[in-house]
Amino acid sequence: MSEFVSGRSEQPPADYIEQTTRLYNSLGYDRYRWAERSSPPPFTPLTKPLPECRITLVGSGGVYRRGQVAFHTKDDTSIRVLPSETASAELRTAHFAYDQTDARADPNCVFPLDRLHELAARGEIGGVTSEAYGFMGGIYSVRRLETETAPTLVERCAAQKPDVVLLIPV
């Protein structure tokens, strides 16, 4: 039941798993099983101030650069390497599980590369690594995610020597 506060209706937070399950079921993917772990990964605090940190961007919104192959349907475990200097007008999206209208109008809503460059220009972060990475979330095969996508992303990110990896989930 919602409460009336300050002239507007307050709704409880969205249940992401419930809403996503409903969405996937409506798309005909009624066998989706969530990957669950017995404990969360360990918290890793920053070792230096954010204005000194270089950031690598990783997004699961199906972002790729014009001229690259678009993502397929579910279980596309491939990754797109995107030079961090890629203009947002060159970015495209292909994803089966969300309405891409806003992302196609402004890719920064799912892949905030321009915003990171702005933060770097203002000195709020130390910079952006030379590469960013796009992949399509909604990979149904946990095994393939763990054996293909994740190790490749870890390897590529580590090669950039970032202080922070910013993962933008969709």
In a domain, 86, yes or no: yes
In a domain, 112, yes or no: yes
In a domain, 27, yes or no: no
Pairing of strands 131-135, 91-93: unpaired
Q: What is the pLDDT of residue 39?
A: 83
Low-confidence ranges of the chain (pLDDT < 50): 1-8
Pairing of strands 54-59, 63-65: unpaired
Q: What is the pLDDT of residue 8?
A: 47
In a domain, 19, yes or no: no
In a domain, 18, yes or no: no
What is the secondary structure of 71-138 as a DSSP string? Answer: P-STT---EEEEETT--GGGEEE--SSS--HHHHH-GGGTS-HHHHHHHHHTTSSSEE-SEEEEEBS-
Q: What angle do CA 92, 126, 103 make, to 5 degrees?
A: 20
In a domain, 159, yes or no: yes
Domain that holds residue 55: 50-168
* Residues 104/105/106/109 CA torsion (nearest 10 deg): -70
Pick from 117, 115, 91: nearest CA to 105: 91
Does the predicted TM-score (pTM) go above 0.95?
no
Q: How many CB atoms lie within 10 A of CB 154?
A: 11
Q: What is the pLDDT of residue 16?
A: 66
Q: What is the pLDDT of residue 7?
A: 45
In a domain, 111, yes or no: yes
Query: How many separate domains does the chain show?
Result: 1
Distances (CA, A) of 9 to 1, 14, 15, 76, 114: 10, 14, 18, 40, 34
In a domain, 92, yes or no: yes
